[in-house]
Each structure stands twice: as C-alpha cells, then as structure tokens.
C-alpha cells in the first residue's frame, strides 16, 4: 500500500486539536526495510489493546541534522505524514521530501479520528535512523536518456589525457613503481550517484578543440599532462558504463563514463550498478573499427569525464608540460550539482 498522503508542518496550532489518550497502543520495535533512493517500507509492533480504534498513523519524518550543512541554507521543514491505518508494512514513496543517499529520522504515533475531526493519539514511538539508497539502474537510465538529448554530434579523437601537478607524477614514479593507482571517486555530481565515494578509478579526459582536433592546452587540474593512445584504455577488451550527468550552475554539462577491463573488480562493480553502453554505438564515446584500425569519437556538446578502473603505467604514454593556463574555476572536485537544472535532474532527487 503506497502512502502519499498529506504532509503538514508540525507546529502548535496544528497539534492543538489533538488530545493524548493512554489507551491507544504505542508503536515499538520499528523496522525499516526495502529502502530505495526515494522510498522505504515501515512496520512496527503494538499491543492489541484498543488496536481496533486506530484509524490513522502519524509518521514523523525528518532529515538528520548535518553538522557541516550550509548555515545560510533554509532548514528543511519537519513533516508529519498522516496516513490511514493500513496493513503493515506500509510503503512510503514518491514525494518531494525523500532524497537519495540521505540520513533520516522517523517516529510513529497511532491515532483515532473523532467525529469532530480531532484526533486522539498515542505517545510517540522511539526515534529510528536510516539512510536512503543510491540511484538504481532505472534512475540512472533516466539520467542517461536526458544526457543523450544534449550530447550533440560526435568528434574524432585519438588520445585520453590526465592533467596533474608535477609532484603527482613524481610521487607515482617514486612510490608506485611508475603506475598511476585508482582512487575513490569524490562526491561531485549527482547526490544519488552510486559511484561517488565508492568506485575506485583514474580520471581521464578526451575532449578536443573543435578547430584543431587536439586536446585543449588549458586545464583546471595542473600544468603537467599524461597522454595515452585511446586504444590502450578503450578497446574490445573493456566495457563502457554510464555513471552520471550533472552541471554546476553553468550552461555546460558533464557526463561521467566508466571504462573497465572485462572481468576486473571495477567491471563487476559497474555491472551491478550502472547502465552498460554499447562501445560501438552510443551518444557519448565510441570505439569502432575501420579498415582494421580502431577509430574513436566523443560527444561535442557535453564535457566527458572518463574513469578508468585499473592502474595505468606511465610508460604507456607521455608526460609533458602544457602551454596553456590552469583554469581552477573549471575544476569539478567535490562540485555540487545544481538541483534546479531541468536539463540534468530527475524527479527522485539530486
């Protein structure tokens, strides 16, 4: 039974018509199950005394306080879900308050509606905490379809590249045997993305300048660039996955793709959580064969961020200093997605 009933702010004026009565059973042993990014099931136990008088349940659902939250941001309004008494477990889903990967507190009252419209209620239950889940493949496919709309035409490219500071490459040579190591992806992008804070990989770019067909000389990530032939990372022995679609209060949008060697731990992680793309035929990044040679194309109208899930040896490419500027304003490190953008948001949250 889905519960999409009225939400009312908890305040004294609304509670003034509610009288407490000991006889109604107090919910206890609350269980939260079947948690998704925008729904959950809730059940509890209660004494049989006066159980037949229960006409409604009051469910008090609040976002858990975040000590690091923006102090200038409006506080979320606590909400009380007024639901008709239905068999338990009861499903709560599909409303504006639930966001993916977010901690909540929940408490429950039983209530009996009187002829005058007032309620007799039990005491509140204990408070339970839970966290909503990441986007599922279904939600990511919705994001994927939105991204396809604005991807634009495909441009040819031949190298993947990664910009960093000189110290990064020195460290790789000295401490990791010349191999760049995967690291856990930060929390940039969609709040519900299943790869944020979980998937390990190495970020690469492949965007090219329209007039030269080559990588741009500017970068937000450092003045030294590692370049590697596209076929060394993206070939018939790798799988391609869609990871995210977002913007940062800007006109341009980012698409995160994941390249994982077939059968690798990264491949297994993505296979369970992300939509897989046809490497030869998709709107973002393709690898096709022409006259026995692998040919590569990338989407023109989105900025691609490509995550490769295995270590990459520096000997497979070259490291050189770029001639352009370091544009820090374009960095996406831990960047927050614009929740108001209609182009890259879906209805289940940010």
- Same structural domain, 68 and 149: no
The answer to whether residue 12 is domain-embedded is no
pLDDT of 211 reads 74
- Answer with the one of 88, 111, 130 that is the final residue of a domain: 130
DSSP-derived 3-state class of residue 271? helix
Residue 69's CATH number:
2.60.40.10
Separation of alpha carbons 168 and 33, rounded Å? 44
pLDDT of 224 reads 92
End-to-end CA distance of the chain: 26
pLDDT of 117 reads 85
- Same structural domain, 111 and 140: no
- Same structural domain, 319 and 302: yes
pLDDT of 328 reads 53
Separation of alpha carbons 149 and 146, rounded Å? 5
- Same structural domain, 278 and 300: yes
pLDDT of 218 reads 77
pLDDT of 77 reads 44
- Same structural domain, 35 and 176: no
Longest dimension (CA), the chain: 82
The answer to whether residue 275 is domain-embedded is yes
- Same structural domain, 68 and 113: yes
Separation of alpha carbons 277 and 130, rounded Å? 33
Per-residue pLDDT tens listing for the chain (350 residues)? 445 444 333 333 344 445 444 589 999 999 999 999 889 999 999 988 778 889 999 999 888 875 554 443 434 444 678 889 999 999 988 655 788 888 999 999 999 999 888 889 999 999 999 999 999 999 999 999 999 999 999 999 999 999 999 999 999 999 999 999 999 999 888 888 999 999 999 999 998 887 777 887 777 788 899 999 999 999 999 999 999 999 988 888 999 999 999 999 999 999 999 999 999 999 999 999 999 999 999 999 999 999 999 999 999 999 999 886 655 555 556 667 888 899 998 877 44
The answer to whether residue 142 is domain-embedded is yes
Domain that holds residue 76: 26-130
- Same structural domain, 116 and 166: no
The answer to whether residue 147 is domain-embedded is yes
- Answer with the one of 78, 113, 130 that is the final residue of a domain: 130
- Same structural domain, 160 and 102: no
- Same structural domain, 197 and 296: yes
The answer to whether residue 277 is domain-embedded is yes
- Answer with the one of 61, 96, 130 that is the final residue of a domain: 130
- Same structural domain, 213 and 290: yes
DSSP 252: S
The domain total for the chain is: 2
The token pair at 124 is 């509140």
| Bridge partner list, 319 | 226
The answer to whether residue 341 is domain-embedded is no
Closest CA to 238 of 312, 145, 135: 312
The answer to whether residue 144 is domain-embedded is yes
The answer to whether residue 317 is domain-embedded is yes
pLDDT of 70 reads 43
Token look-up 């006889």 returns 23
pLDDT of 208 reads 86
- Same structural domain, 168 and 105: no
For 299-336, b/e burial (b = at least 16 CB within 10 A) is beebbbbbbbbbebebeebebeebeeeeeeeeebeebe
- Same structural domain, 66 and 89: yes
Separation of alpha carbons 169 and 319, rounded Å? 8
């Amino acid at each position: 039974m889905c519960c999409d009933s009225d939400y009312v702010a908890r305040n004294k004026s609304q509670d003034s018509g509610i009288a407490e009565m000991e006889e109604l059973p107090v919910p206890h042993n609350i269980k939260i199950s079947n948690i998704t990014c925008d729904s959950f099931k809730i059940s509890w136990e209660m004494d049989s005394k006066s159980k037949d008088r229960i006409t409604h349940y009051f469910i008090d659902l609040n976002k858990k306080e975040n000590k690091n939250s923006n102090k200038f941001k409006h506080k979320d309004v606590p909400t009380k879900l007024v639901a008709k008494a239905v068999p338990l477990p009861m499903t709560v889903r599909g409303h504006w308050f639930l966001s993916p990967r977010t901690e909540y507190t929940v408490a429950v009252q039983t209530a009996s509606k009187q002829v005058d419209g007032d309620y007799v209620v039990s005491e509140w239950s204990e408070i339970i905490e839970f966290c909503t889940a990441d986007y599922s493949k279904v939600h990511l496919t919705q994001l994927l379809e939105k991204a396809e709309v604005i991807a634009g035409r495909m441009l040819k490219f031949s190298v993947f590249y990664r910009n960093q500071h000189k110290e990064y490459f020195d460290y790789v040579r000295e401490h990791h045997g010349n191999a760049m190591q995967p690291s856990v992806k930060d929390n940039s992008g969609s709040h519900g993305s299943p790869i944020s804070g979980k998937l390990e990989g190495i970020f690469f770019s492949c965007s090219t300048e329209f007039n030269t067909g080559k990588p741009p000389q500017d970068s937000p990530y450092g003045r030294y660039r590692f370049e590697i032939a596209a076929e060394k990372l993206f070939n018939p022995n790798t799988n391609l996955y869609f990871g995210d679609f977002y913007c940062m209060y800007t006109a341009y949008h980012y698409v995160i793709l994941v390249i994982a060697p077939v059968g690798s731990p990264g491949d297994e992680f993505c296979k369970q959580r992300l939509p897989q793309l046809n490497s030869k035929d998709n709107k973002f990044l393709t690898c096709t064969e022409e006259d026995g040679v692998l040919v590569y194309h990338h989407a023109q109208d989105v900025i691609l961020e490509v995550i490769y899930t295995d270590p990459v040896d520096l000997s497979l490419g070259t490291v050189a200093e770029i001639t352009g500027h370091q544009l820090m304003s374009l960095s996406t490190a831990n960047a927050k997605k614009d929740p108001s953008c209609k182009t890259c948001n879906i209805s289940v949250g940010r």
